[in-house]
Structure 1
Amino acid sequence: MAQSAEMKASSGAIQEAFPNRLPRPTGEREALERAWEPPQGWRRLTAVNNSQIGIYYIIAAMVFFVLGGILALLMRLQLATPDNDLIGASTYNQLFTMHGTVMMFLFAVPIVEAIAVFLLPNMLGARDLPFPRLSAYAFWAYAIGGLAFFCTIFWSVSPDGGWFMYPPLTSKQFSPEIGADFWLLGIGFIEISAIAGAIELIIGILFTRAPGMKLSNMPVFAWAVLVSAVMIIFAFPAVIAATTLLELERAFDWPFFDPQRGGDPVLWQHLFWFFGHPEVYIIFLPAAGMVSMMVPAMAGIPLVGHRAVVAALVCVGVVSFLLWIHHMFTSGVGINALLLTSIASFVVAIPSGLQIFAWIATFWNGRVRMNTPTLFLLGFHCIFLIGGLTGVMVAVLPFDWQAHDSYFIVAHLHYVLMGGMVFPVFAALYYWFPVINGAQLSERLGRWCFALMFAGLHLAFFPMHITGLLGMPRRVYTYSDYVGWNALNLVSTIGAFTLAAGVLIFLIDAVRVLLKPDRDHDNPWNAGTLEWLPPRDYGVRSIPEVRGTEPLWDNPSLSEQVEQGRWWVPGTIFGGRETLITHARTARPLQLLRLPSEGWQPFLAAVGTAGFFLLLTVEWMTTAFVFGMGSIAAMVQWVWQLDRKAPRPWAEIGEGVRVPVQPLTRRSHSWWATLLLVIVDCTIFASFIYSHVHLSMALDVCPPPGASLANPWLSYANIAFMVMSSACMFANTRRGLQPGSQTSLRGFTLLALLFMGAAFALALRGQVDANLSPTVDGWSASVAILLSYQGFHTVVLLILGVYLIARSWAGLVVPEARATLDNVALLWHAATFQVLVTEVALRAVPAWMNSI
């Protein structure tokens, strides 16, 4: 009780004397620097700290931006003149597909995640994100997999079905080469990397904020990243499900999208655009958050309407999930769906416009400094406004039916993405570059960069509105002289190269500044947020108490106080890397979190993951599974010691306040991360259920002739055994974890594994007895994918069950370190829930279909 009272005391305000106490003891800073010393030379591959991984991430994303831009320039050269034979149709289709894929999957989402990984810990007053090795794994999986995927273009085996990969164009019949498989498997696991990064960012934002930084005064950029990351959790699983279905069709002839055998190509569009349209806002919202951070600094006053801007971010995130049919206005869906989506397309402009008015009002009320970041911010306002207006135009159904698949849509897309994301990113790079190594980019070159990019963008893309209205379709590699598009296309090509010249100026200047030796940065913009505290490998010398949205303006001496160690956790308590876990809403200190240091495991796990997916593409099955097993082994090794007992249960974090070193409740920050993983898993499962329902609704009779449902008693037994396995895990979590109870824990876990295996065996027997063949028709294939997903969970839970037993045998599952048990149990219950839903759906959907 005494310890609990001490912990509760930390939630109150710090004593006025706290910042004015004496400097810290000699040697404390040196110990902190030793704990956070970055690796050098080839050991940089083992880095996990956000200050290193964030830089790697940003550089990799910018490399892909340049590579994607080069592909665009080649396409513009082909389209500069009519009847051009510079590039053939097949090569052009590969360039077009790779350009869109690289820009959307390898640049747009990764660059905003990269900036978040680099900036957020410092902006939140934390020393690092809570799962540093997960950040490292996400980066290396993205970088290695993305580079390998891009290199397919040099061997002419790149995908050529467009970055949206619509079947039947991408079916085996029309795309027999392996390019489509590279896209499906490569992009699928790159999305897994993005989801891993999103989970890391959500937990970091909610649980590692500085004490006192309530949700109400959290930086707008943190809010934007939080909303965007939550959207990733719900949107990206749909494209993972879609790529799984299409790859199964290509590899094993399961006809999900073949209308001749009960499939439906429109199913792909529903799944893809449920991801694809929210993705536009997943990209835009963090960029908007950056703008909301930079505008107050450039104007010298707090952001006008801070809470209204936060509310607008949340509204955009919610409404964006109603917009996927926006891309399907000409696909033949029902009129009610069209009207609802059209209305939502208008509604989403309201919160977006509110943010623009808040930025304009902040500029209007402040004293604006006209420097390079400001120029890019003003350019963003202009370009994004045009893109937003054309977006409202294509939300009008009759206009969209005329402009759909024309170059008008190309122009709209690039105005939205370039204005809504690229210009804010360049403003952010000029604004936050001093945080990297203390040096600023050239102001003179920056103005040239802005001028060329701004002029080049309008020259390149504004004429496309006109060419689209004149009838130029998208995705054509050439055109005839007589159609009247010659001059407009030539101007667009000149504009593209002008834009590229501006980017080249930035790259030259960035390399020049990066080669300078590191030094401490000052606060060149007189900004008010915590990322401008003195830069260190460990983030902050001590974690400050925060009471407002602009803490450096509220307390001008905060930098000196932090550097002198006068706030929370002024050194290293256990000699390693540490940060605070705080309450998700009130940000009161809850726990001292010990963080892992460098290691090879994330890099090796990423190599194994990339190798597994890419080698599957070329059908090197044995080698692929060797890489996959290596990845699993590396992951097991890296998590083995994460949930470990501390040298002592409590730690003093300042002024006599003590907090636990392990979570006092079962719902630790890692439990919440596992819950997010469960949401991802259930969203993939929901996509498979939707696919089954969609294909069932397309049938005249359900099940189709020749197909039948499994014996109901086998279905009931499947459910019963899974429920019993879940009950065993529930018993494990409710029983004590004292040394004498370890035998029963291992026994219950083994029993749960046996029940789970029996459940899957019965489900498989049911499909065999029903003579369901997934190659015969789409409905049977949709049943098979649900069974396969249960089999996938059986394998995963087998690995986790064995891992839990091994940790129990090693004495590592105890009351003070029980996260492994609680997290595995949560995953187990989710798998049981999915089996229950599957069996109910397989019975209920045919009954419902036959009753209407």
Structure 2
Amino acid sequence: MNQPPVLPNALPRPAGELQALQDAWRPPTGWRRLTAVNNSQIGLYYLGTALLFFVLAGALALLMRAQLALPGNALVSASTYNQLFTMHGSVMMFLFAVPVVEAVAVWLLPNMLGARDLPFPRLSAYAFWAYAIGGVAFFCTLFFGASPDGGWFMYPPLTGKEYSPGIGADWWLLGIGFIEISAIAGAIELIVGILFTRAPGMTLMRMPVFAWAALVMALMVILAFPALIAGTLLLELERAFDWPFFIAARGGDPLLWQHLFWFFGHPEVYIIFLPAAGMVSMMVPVLAGSSLLGYRAIVWALAGVGAISFLLWMHHMFTAGLGPLALQLTSVASFAVSIPSAVQVFAWIGTFWQGRPRMVTPTLFLLGFHVIFVLGGLTGVMLAVLPFNWQAHDSYFVVAHLHYVLIGGMVFPLFAGIYYWAPLVNGHRLSERAGRWSFGLMLGGFNLAFFPMHIAGLLGMPRRVYTYAAGLDWTLWNLLATAGAFIFAAGVLVCLADLMRTLRRPSVLPGNLWGADSLEWLPQGDYGVRSIPQITSREPLWHQPGLELEVADGRHWLPGTVFGGRETLVTSPMAADIRHLLRLPGDGWSPFAAAAGTAGFFLLLTVGWITAAFAAAALSLAAMLFWLWATDRPAPSPLATIGMGVSVPTLAVGRATHSWWAMAITAAVDATIFASFAFAHVHVSMALDVCPPPGAKLPDGWGPVALLTASSVLMLGATRCLQRQSWLRLMVVLALVCLLSAVALDLASHLRLGLSPRANAWSASVAALLSWQGFHSLVLAVMGLYLLARSCAGHLRCDARATLDNTALLWHALVLQTLVSMTLVRLLPGWMGD
């Protein structure tokens, strides 16, 4: 629906309205903080945990640098050093870099968008606790000698059972795998939140740049991370059951892992950088006192970087023996990605140039970011040149480039953001004097640590060596790098110590300390803004006079709580017109229990406690069903008055609901994992002289396909029988029977023909596809039974049908996926023969 801009109402608000709002959003205290789901608490938990992992990974780096300071050093053994550099890279990339940018988004975006919270608060809480519990358990493997030692990239065959017989690799594969699930859950929350909970009037082209960056980042997460999940599943299946996906002697290919890993790994660099770039685009205009130059160009540049990054995964495989065409195309894409990145850099420089920058600590960190990131970009262009890459590959030149891009491109903007946004926590700025010391130590220490690595690399020093001989002209450069690393660490500690000191001070109202232009600087409570503002400008605090007072006085939308609970507004994705009121869940134990169960399942599987692992999985499933059971209920009234005499619906169905889109994104994630499995099957099939290999046979019946099609048709019929619940339940039962029968029949036909996953990689890839089908059948069985339970309890109604619509959506998506899988296995050999 379309509304005119709000006309400020000078009349006093009803007595008790603000108190009711505060009561509805009051955060838990004491040990009950574990039950918090609001972004204002979860976001800070997220940030604190990510910074903790940054410090821990940095401590590992200092140990490595101490070992390499002098030739022939024996501070740590070779095996310990291998664990150190594996854990350093893994913790930095998986437990710090991606989580910290998601944490900033979870904390800032609702306030920046004018929303009260993200649309799935319990999903945010679940994502955080799964990450925190699993991350701490993964890091603690260092203290038991059980940490992985195959590098953060875990290349087989080194990480196969033959060369890594312990459980260190399993900790990485299972631990990192479910941490990626946490990241995907956070990404789904961010996509739906950005598209559907913006303040009325905040069209896409009025949206803060950080929201654009977070949106592109989240879309990249749901496309890139599934490839890593698929890869880790395949490698763990090889280690646990001897299915030889990556064993060349049995038809596997170690390069298959590299394709899957780097399809995730290179976009991950930009997944980390883009939100940091969005933060820079928010801070630069405020600190320069000038509007951001080239807003639309920056938005298109963010999208361009995200798109091109998926063409770059073979950038890391230039020496892997790929064909010349693939190398040349990847080299061109490696050059091309620098263009949209440069657009942003020049826009920031232009904004500083046309304004009058304030030389405060955030500005210093932003200037340092520009210098370091541009240098990292230049060495990236050098590495895109094939002949140079062949010389510098796996040398310390690449280590230097990586850190210039990641630390320059993400850590320096993050620390600028800490100094810039810290007042939002308790109203106090960090010390300017300490900030300047922190910046000076970090900038100087960083360049002293990593610039010499370029020279050492060009002199021939390889990566991942724990010691080196004297007389190779590497000693001076390593000594300088070690000194710089400790200086950089001192700068980090100065900032974090000052942050801890500042957070201990009594809270005061922050006000708009920087004279910023975006909504997060409006007066905020645990409920976000007092009333959700009507937006008419890209820079509302600069171009809408009196907005701060109007919002604080409750003169805009939803100044209180309509039904006594937590609520926000759902708006249209493009124009941000108000659609309906969204009731949000309160705090509770179920997200924490579900996350603990998920973490327990994967971690207990790693140590072989199978029964306990499945008990943890049952706990997780029960907690999820518990929190879902209370959802999808009709509101006390079909309309809600949200201010100025305007009433909006409290009901939405089908594609108008935020949950339908979340399920659609989930289906897309699942399809991407399946696409990775299908790619693995095609990859090993194309490597065969004869497909299928000798001794392997293909089923010739198409009965499962007919049953699957019938299952989907029946579920479609169930969605149209909401008025006749008995017919609905019958169709759901029949759909379940057809689905399970189809999967069982397909599996039985393969087993009857003697499918042996251990015999060769082709058979293992078929077994992996069948296992994925079996997993889906279990998921849909649980969803079908849950749907029947809600029907029997009377919770499926025309005004409460999201459970039915969302189940049907995923049902059709997974059935289609299974049909594609069956068709691929049966017809691929014929296509290859033709």
Contact in 1 for aligned 2:212/2:278 (Cα 8 Å):
yes
User: Which residue is 1:366 aligned to?
Assistant: 355
Alignment pair present for 1:837 and 2:820: yes
Q: 1:188 aligns with which of 168, 177, 184?
A: 177
- Once the two structures are TM-superposed, the CA of residue 664 in structure 1 deviates from its matched residue by 4.6
Alignment pair present for 1:12 and 2:3: yes
Contact in 2 for aligned 1:126/1:210 (Cα 8 Å):
yes
- Once the two structures are TM-superposed, the CA of residue 843 in structure 1 deviates from its matched residue by 2.4
Alignment-mate amino acid for residue 438 of structure 1? G
Alignment pair present for 1:146 and 2:129: no
User: Which residue is 2:773 aligned to?
Assistant: 790
Contact in 1 for aligned 2:536/2:544 (Cα 8 Å):
no
Alignment-mate amino acid for residue 125 of structure 2? A
Provide the rounded CA distance (Å) in 1 between the counterparts of 2:471 and 2:654. Answer: 74
After superposition, residues 399-410 of structure 1 pair within 5 angstroms as 399-410=388-399
- Once the two structures are TM-superposed, the CA of residue 665 in structure 1 deviates from its matched residue by 4.4
Provide the rounded CA distance (Å) in 2 between the counterparts of 1:240 and 1:667. Answer: 31
Contact in 1 for aligned 2:653/2:801 (Cα 8 Å):
no
Deviations 1:24-52 (A, max 9, x none): 11100000000000000000000000000
User: Which residue is 1:63 aligned to?
Assistant: 52
User: Which residue is 2:329 aligned to?
Assistant: 340
User: Which residue is 2:529 aligned to?
Assistant: 540
After superposition, residues 588-627 of structure 1 pair within 5 angstroms as 588-627=577-616
Alignment-mate amino acid for residue 816 of structure 2? F
After superposition, residues 665-744 of structure 1 pair within 5 angstroms as 665-710=654-699, 712-713=700-701, 716-735=702-721, 737-738=722-723, 741-744=724-727
Contact in 1 for aligned 2:654/2:805 (Cα 8 Å):
no
Provide the rounded CA distance (Å) in 2 between the counterparts of 1:556 and 1:326. Answer: 50
- Once the two structures are TM-superposed, the CA of residue 564 in structure 1 deviates from its matched residue by 0.6
Alignment-mate amino acid for residue 682 of structure 1? A
**Range moving further from structure 2, 214-223 or 719-728:** 719-728
Provide the rounded CA distance (Å) in 2 between the counterparts of 1:44 and 1:234. Answer: 33
Alignment pair present for 1:552 and 2:535: no
Provide the rounded CA distance (Å) in 2 between the counterparts of 1:831 and 1:125. Answer: 36
Contact in 2 for aligned 1:47/1:599 (Cα 8 Å):
yes
Provide the rounded CA distance (Å) in 2 between the counterparts of 1:21 and 1:808. Answer: 48
SS at match of 1:569: coil
User: Which residue is 2:204 aligned to?
Assistant: 215
Deviations 1:196-242 (A, max 9, x none): 00000000000000000000110000000000000000000000000
Provide the rounded CA distance (Å) in 1 between the counterparts of 2:28 and 2:822. Answer: 52
Q: 1:640 aligns with which of 611, 623, 629?
A: 629
Deviations 1:786-810 (A, max 9, x none): 0000000010011100000001111
- Once the two structures are TM-superposed, the CA of residue 22 in structure 1 deviates from its matched residue by 1.1
User: Which residue is 1:809 aligned to?
Assistant: 792
Provide the rounded CA distance (Å) in 2 between the counterparts of 1:626 and 1:796. Answer: 17
SS at match of 1:23: coil
Deviations 1:590-649 (A, max 9, x none): 010000000000000000000000000000000000000000000000111111111011
After superposition, residues 221-620 of structure 1 pair within 5 angstroms as 221-620=210-609
Deviations 1:721-752 (A, max 9, x none): 111111111011123x23xx111111111111
Contact in 2 for aligned 1:666/1:822 (Cα 8 Å):
no
Contact in 1 for aligned 2:438/2:494 (Cα 8 Å):
yes
Contact in 2 for aligned 1:414/1:461 (Cα 8 Å):
yes
Could you tell me the TM-score, scaled by structure 1's length?
A: 0.97
Provide the rounded CA distance (Å) in 2 between the counterparts of 1:267 and 1:734. Answer: 45
**Range moving further from structure 2, 37-46 or 809-818:** 809-818
Alignment-mate amino acid for residue 514 of structure 1? L
Alignment-mate amino acid for residue 789 of structure 2? A
Provide the rounded CA distance (Å) in 1 between the counterparts of 2:603 and 2:672. Answer: 25
Provide the rounded CA distance (Å) in 1 between the counterparts of 2:269 and 2:574. Answer: 28
SS at match of 1:20: coil
SS at match of 1:167: coil
Provide the rounded CA distance (Å) in 2 between the counterparts of 1:202 and 1:107. Answer: 21
Provide the rounded CA distance (Å) in 1 between the counterparts of 2:156 and 2:706. Answer: 39
Provide the rounded CA distance (Å) in 2 between the counterparts of 1:38 and 1:649. Answer: 28
Deviations 1:241-297 (A, max 9, x none): 000000000000000000000000000000000000000000000000000000000
User: Which residue is 1:4 aligned to?
Assistant: none
Provide the rounded CA distance (Å) in 2 between the counterparts of 1:75 and 1:124. Answer: 43
Provide the rounded CA distance (Å) in 1 between the counterparts of 2:26 and 2:738. Answer: 48
After superposition, residues 86-105 of structure 1 pair within 5 angstroms as 86-105=75-94
Contact in 1 for aligned 2:43/2:104 (Cα 8 Å):
yes
User: Which residue is 2:742 aligned to?
Assistant: 759
Contact in 1 for aligned 2:655/2:661 (Cα 8 Å):
no
Alignment-mate amino acid for residue 362 of structure 2? P
CA RMSD in angstroms comes to 0.7
User: Which residue is 1:657 aligned to?
Assistant: 646
User: Which residue is 1:848 aligned to?
Assistant: 831
Q: 2:150 aligns with which of 154, 157, 161?
A: 161
Provide the rounded CA distance (Å) in 2 between the counterparts of 1:535 and 1:646. Answer: 27
- Once the two structures are TM-superposed, the CA of residue 850 in structure 1 deviates from its matched residue by 2.0
- Once the two structures are TM-superposed, the CA of residue 323 in structure 1 deviates from its matched residue by 0.1
- Once the two structures are TM-superposed, the CA of residue 666 in structure 1 deviates from its matched residue by 4.5
Q: 1:777 aligns with which of 749, 753, 760?
A: 760
SS at match of 1:653: strand
Number of residues paired by the alignment?
Answer: 834
Alignment-mate amino acid for residue 292 of structure 1? S
User: Which residue is 1:799 aligned to?
Assistant: 782
SS at match of 1:137: helix
Deviations 1:55-83 (A, max 9, x none): 00000000000000000000000000000
User: Which residue is 1:819 aligned to?
Assistant: 802
Alignment-mate amino acid for residue 562 of structure 2? I
Identity of aligned residues (%): 66
- Once the two structures are TM-superposed, the CA of residue 668 in structure 1 deviates from its matched residue by 1.1
- Once the two structures are TM-superposed, the CA of residue 761 in structure 1 deviates from its matched residue by 1.1
Contact in 1 for aligned 2:54/2:96 (Cα 8 Å):
yes
- Once the two structures are TM-superposed, the CA of residue 12 in structure 1 deviates from its matched residue by 3.0
Alignment-mate amino acid for residue 12 of structure 1? Q
Alignment-mate amino acid for residue 759 of structure 2? V
Alignment-mate amino acid for residue 14 of structure 1? P
- Once the two structures are TM-superposed, the CA of residue 505 in structure 1 deviates from its matched residue by 0.3
Give the gaps of 5 or more residues in structure 2. Answer: none
SS at match of 2:636: coil
Alignment-mate amino acid for residue 5 of structure 2? I
- Once the two structures are TM-superposed, the CA of residue 436 in structure 1 deviates from its matched residue by 1.0
SS at match of 2:422: helix
Contact in 2 for aligned 1:23/1:566 (Cα 8 Å):
no
Provide the rounded CA distance (Å) in 2 between the counterparts of 1:23 and 1:570. Answer: 12
Provide the rounded CA distance (Å) in 2 between the counterparts of 1:772 and 1:849. Answer: 20
Deviations 1:87-133 (A, max 9, x none): 00000000000000000000000000000000000000000000000
Contact in 2 for aligned 1:32/1:538 (Cα 8 Å):
yes
Contact in 1 for aligned 2:115/2:532 (Cα 8 Å):
yes
Provide the rounded CA distance (Å) in 2 between the counterparts of 1:380 and 1:662. Answer: 47
Provide the rounded CA distance (Å) in 1 between the counterparts of 2:827 and 2:440. Answer: 61
Provide the rounded CA distance (Å) in 2 between the counterparts of 1:442 and 1:592. Answer: 42
**Range moving further from structure 2, 640-649 or 593-602:** 640-649
Provide the rounded CA distance (Å) in 2 between the counterparts of 1:665 and 1:834. Answer: 22
Contact in 2 for aligned 1:521/1:535 (Cα 8 Å):
no
